[in-house]
Amino acid sequence: QLQLVESGGGLVQPGGSLRLSCAAFGFTLDDYALAWFRQVPGKEREGISCISGSGAATIYLNSVKGRFTISRDNAKNTVYLQMNSLKPEDTAVYYCAADRNPGLSICTGPDGGGNYNYWGQGTQVTVSS
Protein backbone atom coordinates (compact mmCIF):
# COMPACT_ATOMS: atom_id res chain seq x y z
CA GLN A 1 0.00 0.00 0.00
CA LEU A 2 1.45 3.33 -1.08
CA GLN A 3 1.31 5.94 1.62
CA LEU A 4 2.68 9.41 2.35
CA VAL A 5 2.67 10.59 5.95
CA GLU A 6 3.31 14.23 6.89
CA SER A 7 4.49 15.45 10.27
CA GLY A 8 5.89 18.58 11.85
CA GLY A 9 2.94 20.91 11.75
CA GLY A 10 1.79 22.95 14.70
CA LEU A 11 1.28 26.39 16.15
CA VAL A 12 4.05 28.95 15.72
CA GLN A 13 4.32 32.69 16.25
CA PRO A 14 4.80 35.05 13.31
CA GLY A 15 8.46 35.13 12.34
CA GLY A 16 9.00 31.62 13.62
CA SER A 17 10.05 28.44 11.84
CA LEU A 18 8.78 24.93 11.30
CA ARG A 19 10.10 21.96 9.38
CA LEU A 20 7.59 19.63 7.78
CA SER A 21 8.51 16.07 6.93
CA CYS A 22 6.80 13.61 4.62
CA ALA A 23 7.79 9.96 4.72
CA ALA A 24 6.85 7.44 2.06
CA PHE A 25 5.78 3.89 2.82
CA GLY A 26 5.25 1.08 0.37
CA PHE A 27 7.33 2.64 -2.40
CA THR A 28 10.68 4.37 -2.87
CA LEU A 29 10.77 8.02 -3.80
CA ASP A 30 13.84 7.91 -6.04
CA ASP A 31 11.82 7.98 -9.27
CA TYR A 32 9.20 10.43 -8.07
CA ALA A 33 8.87 14.16 -8.32
CA LEU A 34 7.67 15.54 -5.00
CA ALA A 35 5.79 18.64 -3.95
CA TRP A 36 4.17 20.49 -1.09
CA PHE A 37 0.72 22.00 -1.39
CA ARG A 38 -1.43 23.88 1.07
CA GLN A 39 -5.10 24.65 1.41
CA VAL A 40 -7.18 27.01 3.48
CA PRO A 41 -10.88 26.18 3.95
CA GLY A 42 -12.93 27.83 1.25
CA LYS A 43 -9.91 28.46 -0.98
CA GLU A 44 -8.27 26.61 -3.81
CA ARG A 45 -5.40 24.31 -3.04
CA GLU A 46 -2.10 25.86 -4.10
CA GLY A 47 1.21 24.31 -4.94
CA ILE A 48 3.99 26.01 -3.04
CA SER A 49 7.12 24.04 -3.88
CA CYS A 50 8.19 21.08 -5.99
CA ILE A 51 11.42 19.16 -6.44
CA SER A 52 12.75 16.78 -9.06
CA GLY A 53 13.68 13.17 -8.41
CA SER A 54 17.38 14.00 -8.12
CA GLY A 55 16.74 17.10 -6.04
CA ALA A 56 18.61 19.23 -8.55
CA ALA A 57 15.62 21.25 -9.71
CA THR A 58 13.11 23.10 -7.56
CA ILE A 59 10.22 25.52 -8.04
CA TYR A 60 8.71 27.87 -5.48
CA LEU A 61 5.55 29.89 -5.31
CA ASN A 62 6.54 33.57 -5.35
CA SER A 63 5.04 34.25 -1.94
CA VAL A 64 7.31 31.70 -0.24
CA LYS A 65 10.55 32.28 -2.17
CA GLY A 66 13.40 33.08 0.16
CA ARG A 67 11.46 31.81 3.18
CA PHE A 68 10.72 28.15 2.40
CA THR A 69 13.16 25.46 1.28
CA ILE A 70 12.20 22.09 -0.12
CA SER A 71 14.65 19.21 0.12
CA ARG A 72 14.62 15.46 -0.13
CA ASP A 73 16.60 12.57 1.32
CA ASN A 74 16.03 9.59 -0.92
CA ALA A 75 17.98 7.34 1.43
CA LYS A 76 15.42 8.13 4.13
CA ASN A 77 12.53 8.12 1.65
CA THR A 78 11.52 11.52 2.96
CA VAL A 79 10.86 15.02 1.64
CA TYR A 80 11.09 18.13 3.80
CA LEU A 81 9.81 21.67 3.80
CA GLN A 82 11.77 24.12 5.94
CA MET A 83 9.60 27.15 6.62
CA ASN A 84 11.18 30.30 8.03
CA SER A 85 9.86 33.80 8.69
CA LEU A 86 6.35 32.43 8.87
CA LYS A 87 3.42 34.78 8.42
CA PRO A 88 -0.22 34.47 9.49
CA GLU A 89 -1.16 34.04 5.83
CA ASP A 90 0.88 30.82 5.76
CA THR A 91 -1.74 29.23 8.00
CA ALA A 92 -3.17 26.22 6.16
CA VAL A 93 -3.23 22.46 5.95
CA TYR A 94 -0.05 21.36 4.21
CA TYR A 95 0.05 18.27 2.01
CA CYS A 96 2.90 16.44 0.36
CA ALA A 97 2.39 14.73 -2.96
CA ALA A 98 4.31 12.48 -5.34
CA ASP A 99 4.27 11.98 -9.09
CA ARG A 100 5.88 8.99 -10.78
CA ASN A 101 8.20 11.15 -12.84
CA PRO A 102 11.93 11.22 -12.14
CA GLY A 103 12.09 14.73 -13.53
CA LEU A 104 10.32 17.83 -12.27
CA SER A 105 6.53 17.94 -12.26
CA ILE A 106 5.13 21.45 -12.13
CA CYS A 107 3.13 21.98 -8.97
CA THR A 108 2.47 25.73 -9.05
CA GLY A 109 -0.11 27.49 -11.14
CA PRO A 110 -3.60 26.40 -12.14
CA ASP A 111 -4.24 22.72 -11.55
CA GLY A 112 -0.66 22.05 -10.51
CA GLY A 113 -2.00 19.35 -8.28
CA GLY A 114 -3.31 17.48 -11.31
CA ASN A 115 0.22 16.29 -12.05
CA TYR A 116 0.46 14.42 -8.76
CA ASN A 117 -0.91 10.95 -8.12
CA TYR A 118 -0.22 10.25 -4.46
CA TRP A 119 -1.14 12.44 -1.53
CA GLY A 120 -0.60 12.54 2.20
CA GLN A 121 -3.33 13.22 4.73
CA GLY A 122 -2.13 16.72 5.58
CA THR A 123 -0.70 18.49 8.60
CA GLN A 124 -2.04 21.72 10.08
CA VAL A 125 0.22 24.76 10.29
CA THR A 126 -1.09 27.72 12.28
CA VAL A 127 0.84 30.98 12.47
CA SER A 128 -0.57 33.19 15.19
CA SER A 129 0.49 35.27 18.16
Convert the pLDDT of each residue in 14-49 to its tens digit. Answer: 999 999 999 999 988 888 999 999 999 999 999 999
Residue 112 has what pLDDT?
A: 81
Model pLDDT, residue 111: 79
- Torsion 93-116-112-49 (CA) sign: positive
pLDDT band, residue 97 (cuts 50/70/90)? very high
**DSSP code of 114?**
G
pLDDT for 2 equals: 86
Tell me which DSSP letter residue 40 carries.
-
Q: What is the DSSP string of 47-91?
A: EEEEE-TTS--EEE-GGGTTTEEEEEETTTTEEEEEE-S--GGG-
Q: Which of the pair, 28 or 79, is modelled with greater confidence?
A: 79
